[in-house]
Structure 1
Amino acid sequence: MDEHLHERIRDAVRSIPAGLVATYGDIADIARAPTPRLVGRVLSEDGHDLPWHRVLRATGTPAPHLARRQLELLRAEGVLAVNEKVDLRTYRWGVR
């Protein structure tokens, strides 16, 4: 992967304010990445120091293997989920 693209993805995730969320697609659009899956790959391989928990699927749900921890971190920032789903109309960054 292009190093500049990698850093654009990291910068986009880093810029999500506490208390808000973005989708993998939102981050891909901001970073001009070809696919949201690439965002997931960057976060899984090099996202430990980023607010990775603020990035959700387009449905407002976390990845199943991260759900418990991700929802705990979001709850601590005031982002509430119902049935493990965040209301993107309420908490989505840039869409208010």
Structure 2
Amino acid sequence: MSQQRLPSDTGPEHAGTLPEYAELVLDVAERIPPGRVMTYGDVAEWLGEGGPRQVGRVMALYGGAVPWWRVVRADGVLLPGHELRALDHYRAEGTPLKEASRAADGHLPRLEMKRARWDGGGHTDGGGQAGDHIGRLPPSDVPPCDL
């Protein structure tokens, strides 16, 4: 399968003309409270469109201006190539981590997803469970998404 490229007018060099979906994804990333995370799939499900790969693409192209470290892989593995920067953010924010064993590559911790995962609701005390976001509607202050 060939790598599909976006047209040049949607690239980061045209930051003033973000695609609508990218704006929605970045808005969700900005709403995630410090110390909490959402998976790429959680963000797509919360928006009601796209999927984990689309969210990941948006974050890769445009996520540098938002708390990118709060949108993560579902397995809790730190973003390859950005592990140490992300780890600094997680430690500063108190994001729950699982310390790595000595046998783990690079001895890097993983996110403790059961405690760190945010459901998109108003509770930011860590009491949510993984999967709590499923079926939940966005808060009323979120503008409706034109599908």
- Identify whether the pair has TM-score above 0.5, normalized to the shorter chain: yes
The answer to which structure has the higher helix fraction is 1
- TM-score bracket, normalised by the shorter chain, equals 0.7 to 0.9
**Which has the larger Rg?**
2
| Structure of greater relative contact order (alpha carbons < 8 Å, 6+ residues apart) | 1
| Secondary structure of 2:27 counterpart | helix
Q: Distance in 2 between matches of 1:4 and 1:44?
A: 16
In structure 2, stretches of 5+ residues that fail to align are 1-9, 11-17, 101-108, 120-126, 129-147
Q: Distance in 2 between matches of 1:56 and 1:5?
A: 18
The count of aligned residue pairs is: 96
Q: Distance in 2 between matches of 1:71 and 1:13?
A: 17
Q: Distance in 2 between matches of 1:13 and 1:34?
A: 15
Corresponding residue for residue 9 of structure 1: 25
Q: Which runs of 4+ in 1 moved over 4 A?
A: none
Inter-CA distance 24–78: structure 2 relative to 1 (3 Å threshold): same
Match of 2:112 among 87, 91, 95: 87
Q: Distance in 2 between matches of 1:6 and 1:68?
A: 25
Corresponding residue for residue 32 of structure 1: 48
Q: Distance in 2 between matches of 1:35 and 1:93?
A: 18
Q: Distance in 2 between matches of 1:38 and 1:10?
A: 12
Q: Distance in 2 between matches of 1:79 and 1:33?
A: 27
Give the alignment's TM-score, normalised by structure 1: 0.88
Contact 2:35-2:96 within 8 A present in 1 as well: no
| Secondary structure of 2:94 counterpart | coil
Identity rate, percent: 35
The alignment's C-alpha RMSD in Å is: 1.8
Q: Distance in 2 between matches of 1:50 and 1:74?
A: 15
Report the alpha carbon displacement of residue 88 of structure 1 after superposing the two structures with TM: 1.0
| Secondary structure of 1:64 counterpart | coil
| Secondary structure of 1:34 counterpart | coil
Give the alignment's TM-score, normalised by structure 2: 0.59
Corresponding residue for residue 71 of structure 1: 87
Q: Distance in 2 between matches of 1:8 and 1:32?
A: 11
Report the alpha carbon displacement of residue 37 of structure 1 after superposing the two structures with TM: 1.2
In structure 1, stretches of 5+ residues that fail to align are none
